[in-house]
Amino acid sequence: MVGARQFDEQEVIAIALEVFWRKGLHDASMQDLATATGVQRGSLYNAYGDKEAIFLRAFDQYAGLFLEAARNALAKGDAAARLQKLFDMIIVNMTSGSPPRGCLTTRTALDAAVSSAHVRERVQNLLSRLEHLISEAVSSAAGAPATIDANRLARVVVTFTRGLAVMERAGYGRKHLNEAAVTFVDALVGDA
C-alpha cells in the first residue's frame, strides 16, 4: 500500500531518543537517525517532517517515562525519604550507560537557547510538571519543613537537579552526586 510506513514507529522513536540523548538535538543529524534506526532519511522526512519533529516525539516519550519514575520515587516515606528516592532515581538515570548519557532535559535546555519555541516549551513543561509532583509529594509528607512554601521548595529542588546534571557532565561520578544529594536533603529537611 502506497504511503504505509514500513517500520515500527515506537521502535524508531525509542532509537531516536537514544541518539538525541547521546548527541543532543543540534549535534544529531538526520543521517545519524537514519543509520541508528535503519530507516532511510527520505522515509524519516516523509513520516515526521524534520529532525525537530522526531525529537519532539522522542522527548514527549521520555518526559512521560521520566515523570512516571519521579511520581513513583516520590510516592512513599517522609519528606526526606521521598526527596532522596527522587535524587537516587535521577542520578541513576543520568549516570547510566557507557559513557554515562547525562541528563536529556538539561542537555536539551542548553540546546534550547538556540532551538525553537516548541523545544523550549517542552523543556519548561517537563520541569514545571516535575516541580508540581515534588510540591505535592513534599506538602503531603510527614517531616515536611513547615517554614518553607512547598512550591518554592520544589523549584529549589528542581534547580538542584539541574546542578547535579552539570556536575555529572563535569566528570563527577555517582558516588559524589549521591553525597551531594544526601547533604542537600539533610539541609532542606534534616531538622524538620
Distances from the Cα of 33 to the Cα of 8, 41, 114, 116, angstroms: 14, 8, 21, 20
142 has pLDDT over 90: no
Confidence band of 191 (pLDDT split at 50, 70, 90) = low
Percent of the chain with pLDDT over 90: 65
Q: Do 19 and 32 contact (CB within 8 A), yes or no? A: yes
Please enumerate in sequence order all residues whose Cβ is within 8 A of that of 54, keeping only pairs 6 or more positions apart, or say none: 13, 16, 33, 44, 48
- pLDDT tens for 70-112 read 999 999 999 999 999 999 999 999 998 777 888 999 888 887 6
| Mean pLDDT (whole number) for 162-168 | 95
Higher pLDDT, 149 or 166: 166
Classify 29 in phi/psi space as left (phi over 0), alpha (psi -120 to 50) or beta.
Answer: beta
- Residue 45 CA to residue 118 CA, distance in Å, equals 18
Give the span between the Cα atoms of 103 and 165, in whole angstroms: 6
What's the whole-model pTM score? 0.88
Classify the phi-psi angles of 102: left when phi > 0, otherwise alpha if psi is within -120 to 50, otherwise beta: left
Residue 38, amino acid: G
Q: What tens digit of pLDDT does each residue of 8-28 get?
A: 889 999 999 999 988 989 999
Cβ atoms 23, 113 nearer than 8 A: no
Name the maximum alpha-carbon separation found in the chain: 66
